[in-house]
A = this chain, B = another copy of it.
Amino acid sequence: MSTDASPTPAVDGASAVPGTPDPALLEELVAANRILSDHGVLDAYGHISARDPVSSRHYWISRSMAPALVGAADIIACDLDNNPVRPGETRLFFERVIHGEIYQARPDVMAVLHNHSPSLIPFCNSDTRLRPMVGSAAFLGEGAPVFDIRTVDDEGDLNICNVAQAKGMAQALGQHGLVLLRGHGAVAVGDSIRQVVRRAIIAESNAKQQMQAALLGPVHFLTESEIEYAKRQKPKDPDRAWRLWKQRAIGGNV
């Protein structure tokens, strides 16, 4: 990853550099930024990206700005070393290394979100694991892993700024759908923009409900059999929620 001051054009033998961006993909990413802001899953910080559907070694992400304000013209392409394709780009998220490293480690992943969802923070700083309360949260499995940056280095920075830290985070993520970051936030992944948006919104509500349930005594989570079943299933009507969320966040007919 080059520094923000002197970005280097991507040189990538394995796949073509993306040319004209796909308007539908950009619109989907804009909607994702707005929906996640509307749900309070993103605030002024955090970022969502999508792997280019043709050139698998590139991804699309907004310039450094508040997600609620992102428009299609703010979205740029980076290679998997997190260098912008177009020379001269400077307003870049310094934690974008999260995205490149996950796309390298997880060929199945088509979208990545880094955020600081309010109800997830308590689980980042606890020995109690975030576990699924309902079927739609089954992607949390036996409990979301927590990445402790001190396993990579102990300089005191909690942000994921370099390749070693991002590799450590990707290793903690493993084959899970979401990894919590101690003292920091979370990273969610999915096979599409819509899946990662859905996972982030469900993780937030599940976390809140799990904390409330702790007030009532021991909590019964999904069984192993229920987790396995849900993972095998496709959601029956995944676009139903997307349409509602998009209308609420953006308005108009969708």
- Show the binding face of A for B, using Cβ within 8 Å: 43-45, 64-66, 68-69, 94, 116, 118-119, 121-128, 132-135, 150, 154-159, 182-185, 205, 208-223, 225-230, 233, 236-237, 240-241, 243-245, 247
Contacts and interface: CB of A to CB of B under 8 A. Distances in A.
Residue with the greatest number of chain B CB neighbours at <10 A, chosen from A126, A159, A233 = A126
Nearest to A126: B216
A30 B147 CA distance: 41
Nearest to A65: B240
B215 A135 contact: no
Nearest to A148: B220
A60 to B, nearest CB: 20
Contacts of A43: 241, 244
Given A134-B185, A215-B215, 8 more contacts: A118-B205, A118-B209, A122-B216, A123-B216, A156-B230, A157-B226, A158-B222, A183-B221
